[in-house]
């Protein structure tokens, strides 16, 4: 398995962010992660209620989120911990992530204050 690529903050491109978050499934995943203190695993996020995302698709969603700079993934034993890069992102693109999650009606409680 190749090492996971994470762009440096200054290499994060807005088009990649928007593309990643133009898919409702990825937004749902990202919003759940943003509402989780410790990182969430892939499989814990596969169930969307109305449909279970196939794991190859899930893996791809995580790759898109990771390579756009939205999340950071780290192997922890047998599973992967994923967490958002919201704080960093807000520094580089002020208000962007918040406005997007708000538009989708998926801003998690934790992000409502501040």
Positions in the binding site for its own copies (CB under 8 A): 14-19, 21-24, 27, 93-96, 98-100, 102-104
Rounded Cα–Cα distance for residues 113 and 110 (Å): 7
6 binds, among its own copies, DNA, none (CB under 5 to 8 A by kind): none
Query: Which residue intervals of the chain are DSSP H helices?
Result: 14-20, 24-34, 55-68, 86-92, 96-103, 109-112
Number of amino acids touching DNA (CB under 7 A)? 25
Give the footprint of DNA on residues 59-98 (CB under 7 A): 59-60, 62-63, 73, 75, 77-80
- Least distance to DNA from the beta carbon of 9, Å? 21
Rounded Cα–Cα distance for residues 83 and 88 (Å): 12
């Amino acid at each position: 398995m190749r090492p996971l690529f994470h762009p440096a903050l200054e290499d994060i491109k807005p088009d990649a962010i928007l593309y990643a978050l133009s898919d409702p499934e990825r937004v749902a995943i990202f919003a759940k992660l943003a509402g989780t203190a410790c990182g969430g695993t892939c499989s814990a996020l596969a169930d969307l209620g109305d449909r279970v995302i196939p794991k190859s698709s899930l893996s791809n969603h995580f790759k898109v989120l990771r390579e756009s700079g939205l999340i950071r993934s780290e192997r922890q034993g047998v599973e992967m911990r994923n967490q958002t890069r919201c704080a960093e992102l807000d520094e580089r693109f002020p208000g962007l992530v918040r406005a997007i999650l708000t538009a989708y009606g998926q801003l998690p409680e934790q992000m409502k204050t501040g």
